[in-house]
Chains A and B, each alone.
Chain A
């Protein structure tokens, strides 16, 4: 049982290049999330998908797009990478209900992205 799998683990890009970060979960969770983590900033939500077929903006969506390809997969795309997007990116999933007692999130190992 792999849980949440992110690829790639490391990537170096040049300013202006594009790339897609992949995330897949095998826990049959309905909700998936993308975060970025910068030193001293904690985790900041970029986009989330409450269920298959839906996506919503989080705290810091500018410069990113997402696709919920199916229930298992949720990808994050940088169309034109900028140095300010250098960060560690985490994907997470959970069996969230949207109200009441929600389940916690399970995280992937992260993607370390550097943009020169």
Chain B
């Protein structure tokens, strides 16, 4: 079992819709979770950090964490074509090590 799993997609949503991205992880001791966005040919950039169970909102983005179910998600409201990218879920395990999921490709159709 991979330590961090994501649906590779592609996930296609119409402009203005909600995009829902999911991630599961295997290390129950993990305490730090991150979502990054990566445009083609570019480096990953941080969208959200989340550390506690529940929801964390930042503009159009909401991260959700459920440690009991070992599940992290990212919701993008009012999706825009500029949101089309690969979204990477990252989980810190064993202290300093960060493991990334393979990423979910999102396409927002105008």
Contact = CB atoms under 8 A, between A and B. Distances in A.
Interface of A: 31, 33, 35, 40-45, 48, 50, 56, 58-59, 90, 96, 98-110
A100 B45 CA distance: 22
Interface of B: 6, 8, 31-32, 34, 36, 42-46, 49, 51, 88, 90, 92, 95-103
B96 A101 contact: no
Nearest to B2: A42
Pick the most buried of B6, B97, B102: most chain A CB atoms within 10 A of its CB: B97
Q: Is the interface of A mostly helix, strand, loop or mixed?
A: loop
A45 B98 contact: yes
Contact of B44 (A59, A90, A102): A90
B16 to A, nearest CB: 29
6 contacts: A40-B8, A50-B96, A58-B97, A101-B51, A106-B46, A107-B44
A43 B44 contact: yes
A45 B103 contact: no
B32 A102 contact: yes
A50 B85 CA distance: 30
A105 B32 contact: no
A104 B34 contact: yes
B96 A31 contact: yes
Contacts of B97: 45, 48, 56, 58
A64 B98 CA distance: 18
Contacts of A102: 31-32, 92, 96
Contact of B96 (A43, A90, A98): A98
Given A58-B97, A107-B44, A42 B103 contact: yes
A33 B43 contact: no
Nearest to A51: B96
A33 B46 CA distance: 16
